């Protein structure tokens, strides 16, 4: 049984527009793209290997 508020997606709930049409890319290609964008934004490369909430307080 599915709980209310946690129902499966209906046909009308599917993503639309550009985001809904994106295809998956291989991990190697994703990493290359990520590194390019990080260089563009001047983000330190060490962030790639860091856990998401590393260095942030819990509260």
- State the Cα–Cα distance between residues 22 and 27, nearest whole angstrom: 15
Instruction: Report the mean per-residue pLDDT for the chain.
Output: 78
The whole-number pLDDT of residue 6 equals 62
DSSP labels, 6-59? -PPPPGGGS--HHHHTPPP--HHHHHHHHHHHHHHHT--GGGGGS-TTTTS---
The whole-number pLDDT of residue 35 equals 94
pLDDT tens for each residue of 29-56: 999 999 999 999 999 998 888 888 877 7
pLDDT band at 13 (very low <50, low <70, confident <90, very high): low
């Amino acid at each position: 049984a599915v709980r209310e508020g946690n129902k499966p997606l209906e046909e009308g709930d599917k993503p639309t527009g550009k985001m809904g049409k994106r295809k998956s890319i291989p991990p190697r290609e994703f990493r290359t793209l990520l590194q390019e964008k990080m260089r563009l934004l001047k983000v330190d490369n060490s962030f790639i290997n860091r856990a998401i909430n590393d260095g942030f307080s819990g509260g």
